[in-house]
């Protein structure tokens, strides 16, 4: 017969895993909600400052290429490739007078691709970094 002293001991363990999950979820909720609560309540009256000077419009050089392949630079006409050397010299002089200009090539929609490539090759040889192709803005039809 068992004596009273040899009773089964009661194992008292508490599983805290669900408690930890609830605490972490509440922590995340408060972390997300706290900035939203204070964002609308804190009013800041910012100081005034003098307005900075607006930047000047960047310099640009426009090159026009006709459908026939004639290239115009500053009202001078060049027939490439025959006048390529003169075009290169004229553009180099124009480039030297400008401070890092943007070059805009306005080519006729019927111009041969070769004419545009010749102009771009000259610009590339002269280390022009900013080249844009001019187009007409057209509203998109819905």
pLDDT tens-place string over residues 122-137: 999 888 888 888 877 6
Q: What is the mean pLDDT of residues 8-29?
A: 88
Q: Determine contact, residues 116/105, Cβ cutoff 8 Å.
A: yes
Check whether 36 has a pLDDT greater than 80. no
Which CATH number covers residue 112? Answer: 3.30.420.270
Whether 94 is covered by a domain: the verdict is yes
Whether 53 is covered by a domain: the verdict is no
Q: For residue 62, give the H/E element and its range.
A: strand 60-65
Check whether 119 has a pLDDT greater than 80. yes
Check whether 83 has a pLDDT greater than 70. yes
Whether 41 is covered by a domain: the verdict is no
Whether 11 is covered by a domain: the verdict is no
For 95, the domain range is 60-133
Distances (CA, A) of 120 to 31, 43, 123, 135: 56, 55, 5, 16
Structural tokens at position 66 = 């006709």
Confidence band, pLDDT 50/70/90 cuts, at residue 41: low
Number of domains in the chain: 1
Q: Which residue has the tokens 């995340």?
A: 28
Whether 93 is covered by a domain: the verdict is yes
Whether 36 is covered by a domain: the verdict is no
Whether 31 is covered by a domain: the verdict is no
Whether 81 is covered by a domain: the verdict is yes
Check whether 39 has a pLDDT greater than 60. no
């Amino acid at each position: 017969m068992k004596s009273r002293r040899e009773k089964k001991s009661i194992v008292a363990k508490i599983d805290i895993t669900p408690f930890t999950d609830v605490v972490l979820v509440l922590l995340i909720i408060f972390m997300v909600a706290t900035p939203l609560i204070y964002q609308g309540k804190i009013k800041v009256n910012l100081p005034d400052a003098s307005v900075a000077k607006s930047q000047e419009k960047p310099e640009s050089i426009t090159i026009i290429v006709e459908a026939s392949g004639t290239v115009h630079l500053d009202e001078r006409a060049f027939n490439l490739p025959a006048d390529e050397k003169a075009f290169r010299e004229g553009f180099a002089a124009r480039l030297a007078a400008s401070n890092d200009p943007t070059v805009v090539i306005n080519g006729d929609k019927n111009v041969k691709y070769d004419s545009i490539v010749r102009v771009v090759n000259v610009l590339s040889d002269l280390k022009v970094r900013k080249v844009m192709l001019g187009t007409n803005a057209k509203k998109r039809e819905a």
